[in-house]
Amino acid sequence: MKTFQLLASAVLVAASFAAAHAEETAPNGIALGDPIPRSLVKMQGVDGRELSIADVRGTKGTLVVFSCNACPWAKAWETRIVALGNAALGRGVGVIVINANDPSVNEEDGYAVMRARARQRKMKYPYVVDATSDVARAFGASHTPEAYLFDAEGHLVYHGAIDDNAHEPAKVKERYLQRAVDAVVAGREVATRETKALGCSIKFRPRG
Amino acid sequence: MLHRVRYPVLLCAITLSWAGCGSTDRSPRAAGPSREPQLVAASADRIRNVVRRPGATAVVVNVWATWCTPCRQEFPDLMRLDREYRARGLRLVLVSSDFEDQAHEARRFLARQGVDFASYLKTGNDMEFINGLDPRWTGALPATFVYDGHGTLRNFHEGRTTFAALERQVVAAMNGLDSPETSVGDSIGKETAP
């Protein structure tokens, strides 16, 4: 009887562990065609204002980029993101760049550096803090930089990389995000809708 | 096509002080002017070939970078796994995704970690590399793939892992089994990264 109780307890413990682990590691996030998640969550921008994704939506579309200050890939793409984002603003596309990283992992990802970087790079769009990382979780974002482009109706039409060469801008062959933005502005279907690139894992804040 | 050829040639040039670029020698290196391990340019195809090479009971492929905090944090666990399971047939395949002009930093890091076998430097297009290893991989680092001795992928994990998790996965793979914690996205890395 004792052996049976011990076995039953072991099975229960194993099942609880598996369930907890499954909950932690279940793939999540949005798919092509899905609406903007957590679009009403207010996030503090580098100018001190609280803004949501809904606040910046454009008439033609909305670009959301998860990025940060410290990641070498984010740095490598930074000037291209700024150029593309600043230009998109004038074409009816709302733009917001979100830093979901926990700055306790790397202080370079803190608010002061965000402010300095936005000034230095002349970002015209909001660069905001996802203070719980829950916006990134809702998107299913995993690394930086990672771009999500929504059409005028707010449905996801592009997800992925900025282009096909982070390190050597002169050797870029495929400007994925630029082409997707051009399509959205023109009201055309985006040809390449999902791409990938290596990047730094998002340093998520602990769940509240 | 030309650029695909050029990078391996460049890397061969960078690693001139070592044996040929195709080497997968895992024996400790003889003392020489440098103890830094060989770093070989590799596409996903090449890594898959290394995985499928006969002779292993399990293969762990870890994609990392010197500047990636969770990668550096989990590295001692990978090295412990190699020490404890190499004699039982584990093959550890380390793939740096540092930019190619930073290969020397990757070699220096590997030397400090005690890596004494040939290691790899990712080359070529990111998306081809990512999807070539596993389409479920989003591209976030670190990423760890556990294969059985037949080259069948048994476990995939994005984010920081631990020795205990790796050990479970390797033992399962050695027995031809999947381990329960295959995961994509929000994972140990998210929950425990300091």
The 8-class DSSP code of residue A194 comes to B
Q: Take residue B162 and report the two structure tokens written for it.
A: 């631990």
Name the region of A143 (left: φ>0; alpha: ψ -120 to 50; beta: rest).
beta
Q: A3 pLDDT exceeds 90? A: no
Tell me which chain A residues have a C-beta less than 8 angstroms from the C-beta of B185: 25, 27-29, 140, 142
Q: Which of A28, A102, A166 sits opposite B186 (nearest CB)?
A: A28
| pLDDT tens readout for residues B112-156 | 999 999 999 999 999 999 999 999 999 999 999 999 999 999 999
User: Token pair for residue A101?
Assistant: 């990283």
Structure confidence at residue A208 (pLDDT): 75
Phi, psi torsion values for B3, nearest 5 degrees: -65, -25
Question: CB of B56 within 8 A of CB of B89?
Answer: yes
Write out pLDDT tens, residues B92-115. Answer: 999 999 988 899 999 999 999 999
Q: With contact defined as beta carbons under 8 Å apart, do A204 and A109 qualify?
A: no
How far, CA to CA in Å, does A144 sit from each of A1, A107, B15? 54, 16, 30
CB within 8 Å of chain A, chain B residues 63-82 = 65, 67-70
Residues of B in contact with A197 (CB under 8 A): 126-127, 130, 139
**B61 touches A at CB < 8 Å:** no
Least confident segment among A43-57, A127-141, B23-37, B124-138: B23-37
B166 three-class SS: helix
**Model confidence pLDDT, tens digit, residues A128-151:** 999 999 999 999 999 999 999 999
Best to test chain A binding among B96, B126, B137, B169 (most A CBs inside 10 Å): B126
Distance CA A124, CA B159 (A): 33
Among left, alpha and beta (phi > 0; psi -120 to 50; other), residue A75 is alpha
Cβ contact B140–A142 (<8 Å): yes
Q: Is B163 exposed, middle or buried (0-12, 13-18, 19+ CB in 10 A)?
A: middle
Q: Hey, what are B11's tokens?
A: 């890397």
From chain B, pick out residues whose CB is under 8 angstroms from the CB of A13.
Answer: none
Mutation pick from B186, B191, B192 vs chain A, by most beta carbons of A within 10 Å, is B186
Residue spans of the domains in chain A: they are 29-201
Query: Rounded to an integer, what distance in angstroms lies between the CA atom of residue A148 and that of residue B101?
Result: 30
Q: Token digits for A169?
A: 């801008």
Q: Is B56 left (phi over 0), alpha (psi -120 to 50) or beta?
A: beta
Residues in A closer than 8 angstroms to B189, CB to CB, are: 201
- Measured between beta carbons, the chain B residues lying within 8 angstroms of A21 are 180-181
What is the set of domains in chain B, with CATH numbers?
2-16+37-192 (3.40.30.10)
**Looking at the domain A29-201, which fold is it?**
Glutaredoxin (3.40.30)
How many Å apart are CA B13 and CA B16, to the nearest integer? 5
